[in-house]
Structure 1
Amino acid sequence: MIDQGDLDGAEPLLRKALEECYEKLGDRHPSTLTSIACLGGLRKDKGDLEGAEALLKEALAGKRAILGDQHPSTLASIAWTGQLLQEKGDLDGAEALLGEALTGCRATLGDRHPKTLTSINN
């Protein structure tokens, strides 16, 4: 639905998926954290930057604690949060996170990996 531009239709589905993850997997399971990040991305796409920031930061903190700073999912959350901060005008915060994502991608994926190249672009 998101890919088709139906953000309002996608939101209840993402919220339901997140609710199921909380109930079945707990609040620190990687799938739950990914669901939180997806809902944060949707909030960003809908223009709710404050709501998006809270969700993305929650997901990032959980991924750092559970998966570590160098895990690909954590690196993606670092980049998403950095992009959000950039959109909000927090350029110093964005630069720190986007730089961290780039350093992590280079260390774990190498200089030529598509995700590293995307991080360079960001």
Structure 2
Amino acid sequence: MRFSTTALAYLASALLSTLAPQVAQAGITAFSGSQCDGNAGLNVPCDGSCHKFDDRHSFRVDSNTGDHCVTVFEDPGCPVDGQGAILAHQTGQCQNVNTGTNVRSFVCAKDSTCLLGV
């Protein structure tokens, strides 16, 4: 039985991708309740992008994905010049967002480096 070079390369690539450790992509879910209860929002990527937080009062970053920093804003759209409340070291625990004002948007960093707007 003969295999072409292309077929062997494909098989080797498939084998390596199966055996290689997979890096977990962190996500974050916001909840309407203050203890990660009530209605859950979508699980959105923890990648530095801005997301809405209206009518939410707590959040949880996916566990076993490392140490993340979440910055919450009272204004929509994660304003670059807006004041943000930094909630560092998010590793899967529930975080109540009681900042003394209504939180309207947030940024979740993919690591422990805190972002102040996008």
Q: Fold-level match, TM-score > 0.5?
A: no
Higher relative contact order (CA 8 A, sep 6+): 2
Q: Which is greater in Rg?
A: 2
TM-score (norm 2): 0.26
TM-score (norm 1): 0.25
Flag the structure with higher strand content: 2
